């Protein structure tokens, strides 16, 4: 008698939260369906996109795909968590609607979870791609170095707090497969916001489980102007404010956890930097009175920080002059970059 390999493989839930990116969503679903590991369910959770993607999802005509559409926009975190709660698989993995997986992503990460019941998640390295799906080799290597994945040994790691919360090596939202049933989704507070992946890493770190690292690049993280990371970097003031508030909440939570006291100085520094970031966001939103207390708190918690001092000084300068100074600095940076690239 011949048995299908799917019978032997445990079910994996592929979580794809989406909002108004139909072309990228189509690519993401295709990359999930093209996995050599075939026993999957794909949960597409739409956050009330202006253009309903239901017809696009249905066009795949694959019974493994489940579609959910919120009747109103519930926010990034609520949409993500709702999809997680829908997962029926023994394992689950998050796939952003603008990212892609290599065909062997699940095939190389699931077996270790099956063989090691004490492993909560397995993760890998990733490529960086642009909006046209082209691999950016320079950005890819910079990304691997920045998160120190180029120095992590492949295999099982029992103590991974430094790896997860300091180096942030584990791309939980883009390149990891989790054991389902360990994380209580109701314990992720709304204040976590867009930093849900960092908070999920925190819950994994304190779970008592181990993690597994596969040192290959098996996923493709897309960098483009519509990502929350790019917007919070300066293109969108409200995104910057939301991210800073989420960071403050996360690092304050980490500081209060007695199990993580050895990392307290690092968490405190990150929290203070987030205070400055939030103040700058509020300052750019012309909420000067709201911004200053965050600068003062940041300065009180550290001896000296040039970025914070400059931001506080700017809060006392008329806004039209601040805009002029920012414009002049940007022109200077552009000129310097032009000379470097000439």
pLDDT digits (tens, 9 = 90+) for 37-50: 999 999 999 999 99
Residues 212 and 233 occupy one common structural domain: no
Mean pLDDT of the region 258-282: 95
Whether residue 233 sits in one domain with residue 202: no
Amino acid 298: pLDDT: 86
Whether 187 and 265 share a structural domain:
no
Token pair for residue 216? 């290959």
Assigned domain for 322 exists:
no
DSSP-assigned states of every residue in 273-340:
HHHHHHHHHHHHTT-HHHHHHHHHHHHHTSS--HHHHHHHHHTTS-HHHHHHHHHHHHHHHHHHHHHH
Among the candidates 222, 242, 274, a domain finishes at 222
Of 222, 249, 278, the residue at which a domain comes to its end is 222
- On average, the pLDDT of the chain sits at 90
Q: Is residue 323 included in any domain, yes or no?
A: no
Same domain, 99 and 204: yes
180-197: b (≥16 Cβ within 10 Å) or e:
beebeeeebeeebbbbbb
What's the start-to-end Cα distance of the chain, in Å?
Answer: 68
| pLDDT over 70, % of the chain | 88
What's 216's domain CATH number? 3.90.550.10
Q: Are residues 194 and 233 in the same domain?
A: no
Same domain? For 108 and 159 the reply is: yes
* pLDDT tens readout for residues 136-171: 999 999 999 999 999 999 999 999 999 999 999 999
In a domain, 4, yes or no: no
Same domain, residue pair 95 and 63: yes
Residues 123 and 260 in one domain: no
Structure confidence at residue 1 as a pLDDT band (50, 70, 90) = very low
The domain boundary, picked from 195, 222, 249, lies at 222
**Are both 233 and 218 inside the same structural domain?**
no
Q: What average pLDDT does range 90-103 have in this prediction?
A: 98
pLDDT band, residue 272 (cuts 50/70/90): very high
Res. 340 pLDDT band, cuts 50 70 90: very low
152 and 269 together in one domain: no
| Residue 323: predicted pLDDT | 63
| pLDDT beyond 50 at 229 | no
Q: Are 180 and 248 contained in the same domain?
A: no
**Number of domains composing the chain:** 2
pLDDT in tens, 47-58: 999 999 999 999
Residue 2 pLDDT > 50, yes or no?
no
Residue 235 reports pLDDT greater than 70: no
Position 335 scores a pLDDT of 57
134 lies in the same domain as 199: yes
| 144 CB-side CA count, 13 A | 20
Domain limits for position 291: 229-317
Q: Structure pTM?
A: 0.87
Long-range residue pairs from 247-253, CB within 8 A, at least 24 positions apart, any chain:
247/195, 247/271, 247/274, 247/277, 248/274, 248/275, 248/278, 249/189, 249/191, 249/192, 249/193, 249/195, 250/192, 250/195, 250/198, 250/199, 250/202, 253/199, 253/202
């Amino acid at each position: 008698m011949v048995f299908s390999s799917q019978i032997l493989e445990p079910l994996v839930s592929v979580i794809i939260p989406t909002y108004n990116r139909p072309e990228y969503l189509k690519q993401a679903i295709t990359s999930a369906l093209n996995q050599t590991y075939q026993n999957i369910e794909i949960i597409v959770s739409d956050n009330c996109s202006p253009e309903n993607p239901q017809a696009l999802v249905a066009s795949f005509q694959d019974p493994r795909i489940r579609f959910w559409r919120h009747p109103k926009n519930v926010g990034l975190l609520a949409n993500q968590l709702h999809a997680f709660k829908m997962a029926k698989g023994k394992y689950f993995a998050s796939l952003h609607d603008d990212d892609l997986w290599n065909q062997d992503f699940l095939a190389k990460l699931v077996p270790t979870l099956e063989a090691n019941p004490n492993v909560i998640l397995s993760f890998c390295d990733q490529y960086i791609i642009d909006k046209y799906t082209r691999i950016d080799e320079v950005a890819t290597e910079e990304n691997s170095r920045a998160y120190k994945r180029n120095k992590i040994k492949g295999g099982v790691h029992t103590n991974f707090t430094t790896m997860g919360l300091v180096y942030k090596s584990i791309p939980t939202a883009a390149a990891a497969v989790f054991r389902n049933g360990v994380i209580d989704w109701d314990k992720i507070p709304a204040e976590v916001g867009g930093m849900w992946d960092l908070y999920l890493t925190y819950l994994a770190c304190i779970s008592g489980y181990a993690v597994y690292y596969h040192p290959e690049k098996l996923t493709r993280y897309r960098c483009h102007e519509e990502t929350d990371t790019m917007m919070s970097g300066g293109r969108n003031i409200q995104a910057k404010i939301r991210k800073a508030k989420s960071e403050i909440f996360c690092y304050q939570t980490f500081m209060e956890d007695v199990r993580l006291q050895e990392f307290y100085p690092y968490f405190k520094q990150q929290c203070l930097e987030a205070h400055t970031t939030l103040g700058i966001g509020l300052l750019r939103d012309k909420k000067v009175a709201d911004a200053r207390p965050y600068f003062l708190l940041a300065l009180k918690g550290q001896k000296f920080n040039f970025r914070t001092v400059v931001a506080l000084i700017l809060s006392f300068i008329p806004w039209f002059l601040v805009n002029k100074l920012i414009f002049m600095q940007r022109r200077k940076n552009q000129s310097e970059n032009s000379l470097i690239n000439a």
